[in-house]
């Protein structure tokens, strides 16, 4: 019993250390990825980054193969969300070796899935998903209402502003961008109404629309409180059963 406990402890310690190493490598590769986008980067640094990148991809590849071999349901893992993320985190590297780098650079976007790997190791994400299940219906409803609101706002502002600012409010599609930046209250200032009608319309759109855009955050917030409350209830029940 004592021996087994020790072994288990050693195993857990190794697993934890390995996870920390993987997380550090993920962050290193993300930071490197960001630095590589700097236009005036020294070619020497770029070369060093290439070597580090190769090492990281090799470690990730070994990890991926190990995961596939060790998992009980191999295909299940491969086609699971994190299985695909793990594959996409290393695939662009192998794909970009043979063919022209420029054209497949867009695939490097998938390299970002590496960032999502951070999520995997986080235990606390469960509560998150629980809260989303609670308010899923409301969120879909509000997504629909938001879409409708955005469309109606865009059409309205197009009719009011198109004549006065034909180069800004070109079409309903361009007005949709105004609707998005206004209803989310971002307000870059690249597009704004100048006519009296357009401004009065904007006022009503904002009064109606702010609620539609702002309510989901309140819903998620209350759902998270509810999820925590349910969690506490379950824990109490489990303690009473013992």
Residue 157 CB contacts under 8 Å (≥ 6 apart), including other chains? 169, 175, 178, 179, 193, 198, 201, 202, 205
Q: How far is the CB of 79 from its own copies (least distance, A)?
A: 23
Asked if 155 and 172 count as a contact pair (C-beta separation under 8 A), the reply is yes
Closer of 13 and 112 to its own copies (Cβ): 112
**Cβ neighbours for 187, distance < 8 A, ≥ 6 positions apart:** 181
> What CA–CA distance (Å, rounded) separates 29 from 21?
12
Which stretch in 65-73, 77-85, 89-97, 116-124 sits in contact with its own copies by CB under 8 A? 116-124
Binding test (CB under 8 A) with its own copies, winner from 101, 173, 239, 242: 173
Return the number of the residue (92 or 156) whose C-beta is nearest its own copies: 156
Q: Cβ contacts of residue 186 below 8 Å, gap of 6+? A: 180
Binding region for its own copies (CB under 8 A) out of 73-81, 93-101, 213-221, 234-242: 213-221
CB of 135 to its own copies, least distance (A): 9
> Contacts with its own copies: how many residues (CB under 8 A)?
72
Residue 84 or 220: which CB sits closer to its own copies? 220
Q: Which of residues 66-95 bind its own copies (CB under 8 A)?
A: none
Binding residue for its own copies, selected from 3, 4, 100, 190, defined by CB under 8 A:
190
Burial class (CB in 10 A: 0-12, 13-18, 19+), 50: exposed
Interface with its own copies, residue 180, by CB under 8 A = yes
- Considering beta carbons, is residue 58 or 126 the nearer one to its own copies? 126
Binders of its own copies in range 30-49 (CB under 8 A): 30, 33-34, 37-39
220: which 2 tokens?
């998620």
Among residues 149, 157, 154, which one has the least CA distance to residue 197?
157
**Those residues with Cβ within 8 angstroms of residue 223's Cβ, 6 or more apart along the chain or in another chain:** 131, 132, 134, 135
Task: Indicate whether 185 belongs to the interface with its own copies (CB under 8 A).
Answer: yes
Residues 143-172 that bind its own copies (CB under 8 A): 143-146, 148, 151-152, 155-156, 158-159, 162, 166, 170-172
Per CB under 8 A, 184 contacts its own copies: yes
- Give the nearer residue to its own copies in terms of CB position, either 13 or 194: 194
Taking CB under 8 A as the criterion, the residue among 112, 133, 164, 233 binding its own copies is 112
Beta-carbon contacts of 164 under 8 Å, excluding residues fewer than 6 positions away, are: 194, 195, 198
Q: At what angle do helices 2-36 and 113-120 cross, to 10 degrees?
A: 150
Least Å distance, CB 218 to its own copies, is: 3
**Residue showing tokens 């209402």:** 145
């Amino acid at each position: 019993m004592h021996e087994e406990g020790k072994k288990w402890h050693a195993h857990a310690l190794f697993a934890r250390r390995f996870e920390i190493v993987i997380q550090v490598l993920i962050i290193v590769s993300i930071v490197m990825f960001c630095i590589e986008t700097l236009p005036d980067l020294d070619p020497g640094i770029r070369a060093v980054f290439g070597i580090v990148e190769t090492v990281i991809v090799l470690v990730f590849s070994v990890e991926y193969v190990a995961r596939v071999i060790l998992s009980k349901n191999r295909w299940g893992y491969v086609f699971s969300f994190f299985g695909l993320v793990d594959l996409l985190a290393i695939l662009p590297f192998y794909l970009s070796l043979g063919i022209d780098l420029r054209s497949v650079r867009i695939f490097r976007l998938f390299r970002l899935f590496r960032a999502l790997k951070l999520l995997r190791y986080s235990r606390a994400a469960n509560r998150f998903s629980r809260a989303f299940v609670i308010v899923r219906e409301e969120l879909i409803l509000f997504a629909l209402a938001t879409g409708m609101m955005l469309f109606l706002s865009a059409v309205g502002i197009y009719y009011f502003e198109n004549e006065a600012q034909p180069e800004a409010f070109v079409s309903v599609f361009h007005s949709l961008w105004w609707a998005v930046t206004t209803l989310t209250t971002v307000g870059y200032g690249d597009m704004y109404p100048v006519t009296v009608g357009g401004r009065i319309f904007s006022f009503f759109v904002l009064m109606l629309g702010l609620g539609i855009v702002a309510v989901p955050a309140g819903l998620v917030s209350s759902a998270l409180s509810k999820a925590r409350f349910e969690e506490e209830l379950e824990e109490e029940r489990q303690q009473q059963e013992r």
